[in-house]
């Protein structure tokens, strides 16, 4: 079972969905540094409204689902034996006996 096409599809879906969600974002981000490292804070406020949310969330969820299926397919393919080549061996002219 090949998982390369599923990974490509998952990356395309995730990129389109996250591009829509983050491309139309109104928000802020801030970092506060403090001496005890436990006082250091990162605050990210993201707000996306309208059509990008309606289109972006299904694209991200479909991409995540495809990526999970591709992971399962890659794990399963590691434990499967390679399929033998079932090409019939046809006699060629050189393998036939010489007749006069």
Q: Is residue 37 part of a domain?
A: yes
How confident is residue 82, by pLDDT bands cut at 50, 70 and 90?
confident
The pLDDT tens digits for 35-53 are 888 899 999 998 999 999 9
**pTM of the predicted model as reported, rounded to 2 decimal places:** 0.68
Rounded to the nearest integer, the mean pLDDT of the chain is 86
Structural domain contains residue 91: no
Q: How many domains, the chain?
A: 1
Residue 31, in any domain of the structure: yes
Looking at the domain assignment, is residue 100 inside a domain? no
Domain assignment present for 22: yes
Residue 96 maps to a domain = no
pLDDT in tens, 70-79: 999 889 888 8
Region 2-22: what's the mean pLDDT?
91
In a domain, 94, yes or no: no
Burial (CB count <10 Å: 0-12, 13-18, 19+), residue 99: exposed
Domain that holds residue 56: 4-79
């Amino acid at each position: 079972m090949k998982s390369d096409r599923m990974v490509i599809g998952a990356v395309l879906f995730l990129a389109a969905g996250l591009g829509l969600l983050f491309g139309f974002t109104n928000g802020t981000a801030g970092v506060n540094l403090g001496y005890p490292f436990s006082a250091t804070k990162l605050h990210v406020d993201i707000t996306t409204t309208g059509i990008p949310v309606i289109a972006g969330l299904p694209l991200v969820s479909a991409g995540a689902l495809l990526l999970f299926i591709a992971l399962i397919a890659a794990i399963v393919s590691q434990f499967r034996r390679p399929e033998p080549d079932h090409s019939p061996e046809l006699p060629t002219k050189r393998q036939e006996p010489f007749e006069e």
